[in-house]
Structure 1
């Protein structure tokens, strides 16, 4: 396939996939070809784009390198009006969600969606994962659960064939201070922690809260937590030093193999996590202010309107901008501005 890619595209396949542009090119190349030999045309990529199907979280990650750029001095993580910001202008609380960087990223998502099944706009996690695990899609852009599920012989035919990498970047991020897209020699890489804030809660109506807490604490011990990561398909993904391989942690490939992993698959899977957490210069921050659920929900709807062709990417994000402005006003602009600044570490 690499020789055919070279003939068709005029250059070598960018197998490192350091940018979303690389991913798109490979997905477009493979889409519609019978690359798995089953007699049917196959997909370049599989995505879960259904409203309510968590797809907006993934646009968050995809769009970050188009929007978030590092501080030009030290430290690279310093937050200014123009650097290491994604959601709002930290001086005015004006939404940034329809910035040129966000729009270009949504244009990229739209192109990616056309390199897969036309049914993807209605897919939730299960359908998107199944397309990949059945060997029908080259790429799956999703949560880390896919890495462990790929090892489950009852769901997957790709064990021993898994590759993985951290979130790609782009060489063309938007610089809000200069008001233009940059043309970089190396990709702008923005690490991602979307999904890393899952935690157990105890209902105030629990009859035995102490017993609930004991169970939670037991699940959180290093021995049990690590077992949940490497042994089976629990939905508990890698996230601690005892899940990582040296030099970042203390885990061993043999532990994952004992849990049912192919050794090389485990190296790719855990390696992608390690790269994301340790080798990216900056990270995208979460939105942690009142009104976040409402903003996420309306954003999800407008993203779907763009993916399904009801609106252009610019129109969809312009509508998101207007809705977010209204939500900010409803909650109190001054109150949210103070909380937003605190949440991202911005000091006026």
Structure 2
């Protein structure tokens, strides 16, 4: 789950997001008041949307629900739940065939569960509507995330993936580049292209005052704390070493398991990726293993870090009124490698070109229509409004929505970005990079099988064991693989294999 805390990071500048959250909460409460005090918008129907507690993610549903209601004479009721309660509420509703919810705004990574329960309906016939512009305006990478087992069940409204953020002014400084070359014997790329280069550049910029503000800065920031999405932060490090290029593999972005559910978490490629993740911590990061996502965002936005690999929120938040890096952030694919482990042949393969494998961590928030609703066509009309080019263009430009760009037309409709303080050039750069990660041929779609959260929780446990040095990376990942196998056996290997192959598009 992509989220961050409204904290002040590792320093004492005050909470960059604290006042924003207060203001947003007031705005959302005001929106709820407007909804509650409105007459029932005629004699229309009420559709109920289950979403995560706002203001982020659910906020746009409230705003546009009111708009749509006034246009159609119907009403949208948003039922909120904390993230930890969201999946259990859907699970309970599916088990009891409850009519409590008509639409789900849920994680794309839960698609296998929702489909397996028979709780959501396929949307392919609805997508034939030319107003949706699904074939022409929606990237292939988004279509892949929307599909499961050859059918479209969820519709992305928030395009989650991780990529590299870097300080253009700092890395582009000619004096710094010359000093780096003198020390390391080569001139680094802006941005760094490989993980090894990223570590060197981070080390060079770590632990000194490179922006002359009187404070010590970091080369790189990431999350390292158990329970703070640390496993997501490790995936861009392991993927380039594990993912076999699309033209040499049975499916795109095979990372977690082989197609027969043999774990890849303890493969030589995965182990090497974690070793590089640990090496970065020793050479290029601030001290300690208590970093969380709020620290990552704040340290970048407050000008204390040169680079980070994170979800796209750093971009919009770099234009916050308290940001010290407005217009100074660059965007790029997460760095790759010059080798990968071919699990099919059991050997390392060297590459002349950089081998990239970006990861769609969490995949994004998606709209689903439940199989128990009495109003599927009405639900579709509202979903169509939410994902329309016009409405979605405003939402992805709004840092308060939590949504990231996902339509091709988001590159052209930049008025909302300019109003938010971006230049057209920077907005295009940001959106273009997001879509490049989305459509990369080696991109990893985050795993969608029953029990995926349990697999990842086990992985994060052993990842933090390796980070702390309690066990070697290989031993920790071997333990993880054994527990993954146990989860698979408990849930039923044949069933899990079928779900995983459907996730990969092999069935």
User: Mapping of 1:302-321 within 5 angstroms?
Assistant: 302-321=462-481
Tell whether the 8 Å contact from 1:77 to 1:281 is kept in structure 2 after alignment.
no
- Spell out the pairing of 1:103-142 with structure 2 (5 A cutoff): 103-114=271-282, 115-119=284-288, 121-142=289-310
SS of residue matched to 2:307: strand
- The worse-fitting range, judged by mean Cα deviation, of 187-196 and 21-30 is 187-196
Residue 264 and residue 124 in structure 1: after superposition, are their counterparts in 2 closer, same or farther (change >3 A)? same
Question: How far is the alpha carbon of 1:58 from its aligned partner?
Answer: 2.7
State which drifts further: 94-103 or 173-182: 173-182
C-alpha distance in structure 2 between counterparts of 1:199 and 1:285, whole Å = 14
CA contact (8 A) 1:295 1:324 kept: yes
* 1:34 counterpart residue number: 209
> What is the alpha-carbon distance in structure 2 between the residues aligned to residue 215 and residue 52 of structure 1?
35
1:167-222: CA deviations, max 9, x gaps? Answer: 22111211223423222110112243223331257999x9x999998876644333
Q: Deviations over 1:23-68 (max 9, x none)?
A: 1111011111211112232100111122222221232233111101
- State which of 316, 324, 333 in structure 2 corresponds to 1:166: 333
Partners of 2:187 and 2:386 in 1: CA distance? 47
Is 1:261 paired with 2:422? yes
Whether 1:7 aligns to 2:182 is yes
Select which of 46, 64, 75 maps to 2:239: 64
Contact 2:437-2:443 within 8 A present in 1 as well: no
Assess, with a 3 A threshold, how the Cα gap between structure 1 residues 84 and 152 changes in structure 2: closer, same or farther.
Answer: closer
User: For 1:292-303, what aligned pairs fall within 5 Å after superposition?
Assistant: 292-303=452-463
Corresponding residue of 2:250: 79
Structure 2 residue 413 is matched with structure 1 residue 251: yes
2:488 to 311, 320, 328: 328
Tell me what 1:236 maps to. Answer: 403
More strand by share: 2
Deviation at 1:243, TM superposition (A): 1.6
In the other structure, the counterpart of 2:77 is: none
Q: Which stretch of structure 1 is more off in the superposition, 18-27 or 334-343?
A: 334-343
Q: Is the 8 A contact 2:222 2:233 kept in 1?
A: no
Q: CA deviation at 1:260?
A: 1.6
Name the SS for the 2:303 alignment partner.
coil
> What is the CA distance between 1:11 and its match in structure 2?
1.3
Distance 2:435 2:368 in 1: 28
Deviation per CA, 1:74-122, whole angstroms, max 9, x where unpaired?
xx27517xx852222223x221110000000001111122311123x22
Displacement of 1:263 in angstroms is: 4.0
* CA displacement at 1:334 relative to structure 2: 1.7
**Which range is displaced more, 35-44 or 51-60?**
51-60
Question: Residue 52 of structure 1: which of 227, 250, 254 is its match?
Answer: 227
* Closer, same or farther: CA 101–264 of 1 in aligned 2, 3 Å: same
Classify the secondary structure of the residue corresponding to 2:219. strand
* Secondary structure, aligned partner of 1:44: strand
- Indicate whether 1:16 and 2:191 are aligned: yes
Q: State the alpha-carbon separation in 2 of the partners of residues 78 and 34 from structure 1.
A: 45
Which residue of 395, 413, 433 corresponds with 1:272? 433
TM-score (norm 1): 0.85
Give the number of aligned pairs: 330
Determine the structure 2 residue equivalent to 1:145: 313
| Secondary structure of the structure 2 residue equivalent to 1:195 | coil
Match of 2:143 in 1: none
Give secondary structure in 2 for the equivalent of 1:151: coil
Q: Who is 1:281 aligned against?
A: 441
Q: CA deviation at 1:320?
A: 0.9
Q: Is the partner of 1:257 in helix, strand or coil? A: helix
Which position in structure 2 is the counterpart of 1:183?
350
Q: Tell me if structure 1 keeps the 8 A contact 2:235–2:359.
A: no
Range 145-154 or range 304-313, more displaced: 304-313
In terms of Rg, which structure is larger?
2
Distance 1:31 1:124, change over 3 A: same
* Counterpart contact for 1:298–1:320, Cα < 8 Å: yes
Distance in 2 between residues matched to 1:14 and 1:127, nearest whole Å: 26
Further displaced range: 166-175 or 129-138: 166-175
- Give the equivalent residue in structure 2 for 1:90: 259
Question: Where in structure 2 are there 5+ consecutive unaligned residues?
Answer: 1-175
RMSD over equivalenced CA pairs, Å: 2.8
Q: Is the 8 A contact 1:44 1:116 kept in 2?
A: yes
Correspondence for 1:247: none
